[in-house]
């Protein structure tokens, strides 16, 4: 009954342009189909892990600032050894790598030592995330499948046909589902 009232409120055209609904999930396939229809959720924007080394570098720079890590390293200059290895990793994984580099610098030089390029490269090479790659790909493809516009998709998905996307989702669903 509560969901029915929410849907009714979301469908009220007098609210259009006045109320913004934000719905976030990593499993859009679990949401009620009626809730996701146009008129209730007009824009569906996928939030995906970093898709390029440049995106990883932007995240890593923000994490360096957030964690007040001392470094003068230009991450773009070490792209091959650092950010290229972290494409597709979560921001939490990127933060773990940045903190690992900081720990290595402190262990080697003591205290508040600056993080050098070698520390970042070593940390990116050494880090081993605990993750289910197929499940992550499945959730990412679900987000792509639900997107309301191709303009919102990264390049690697923007040209996939709905049929290609559906075929890959079916394959992953069978693989992921058989392990649960």
pLDDT attached to residue 41: 84
Q: Which residues, including other chains, have CB under 8 Å from residue 7's CB and lie 6 or more apart? A: 32, 34, 35, 40
Any idea of the CA torsion for 73, 78, 83, 86, to the nearest 10 degrees?
-110
User: Which DSSP letter does residue 41 get?
Assistant: S
pLDDT attached to residue 32: 87
Q: Yes or no: say if 180 and 78 are a contact pair by the CB < 8 Å rule.
A: no
- Delineate the domains of the chain, giving CATH numbers in brackets: 2-48+133-179 (no CATH), 53-126 (1.10.8.60)
Question: Which residue from 44, 136, 135, 28 is spatially nearest to 87, judged by alpha carbons?
Answer: 136
Pair of tokens at residue 53 = 């080394």
pTM for the model stands at 0.81
Q: Which residues, including other chains, have CB under 8 Å from residue 163's CB and lie 6 or more apart? A: none
* Per-residue pLDDT band at 2 (split at 50, 70, 90): confident
Flag the least confident range among 36-40, 86-90, 155-159: 36-40
Q: Yes or no: say if 35 and 7 are a contact pair by the CB < 8 Å rule.
A: yes
Please write the tens of the pLDDT for every residue from 59-84: 999 999 999 999 999 999 999 999 99
pLDDT attached to residue 180: 60
For residue 3, pLDDT over 90 is answered with no
pLDDT attached to residue 118: 98
The Cα 67–Cα 161 span in angstroms is 41
């Amino acid at each position: 009954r509560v969901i029915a009232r929410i849907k009714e409120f979301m469908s009220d055209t007098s609210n259009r342009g006045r109320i913004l609904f934000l719905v976030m999930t990593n499993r859009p396939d679990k949401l009620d189909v009626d809730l996701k229809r146009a008129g209730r959720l007009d824009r569906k924007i996928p939030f995906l892990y970093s898709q390029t080394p440049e995106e990883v570098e932007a995240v890593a720079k923000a994490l360096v600032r957030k964690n007040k890590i001392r470094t003068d390293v230009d991450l773009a200059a070490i792209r091959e050894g650092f950010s290229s290895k972290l494409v597709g990793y979560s921001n939490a994984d990127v933060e773990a790598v940045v903190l690992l580099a900081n720990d290595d610098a402190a262990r080697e030089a003591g205290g508040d030592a600056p993080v050098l390029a070698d520390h970042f490269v070593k940390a990116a090479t050494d880090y081993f995330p605990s993750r289910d790659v197929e499940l992550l790909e499945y959730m990412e493809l679900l987000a792509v499948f639900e997107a309301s516009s191709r303009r919102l998709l990264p390049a690697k998905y923007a040209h996939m046909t709905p049929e290609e996307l559906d075929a890959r989702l079916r394959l992953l669903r069978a693989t992921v589902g058989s392990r649960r």
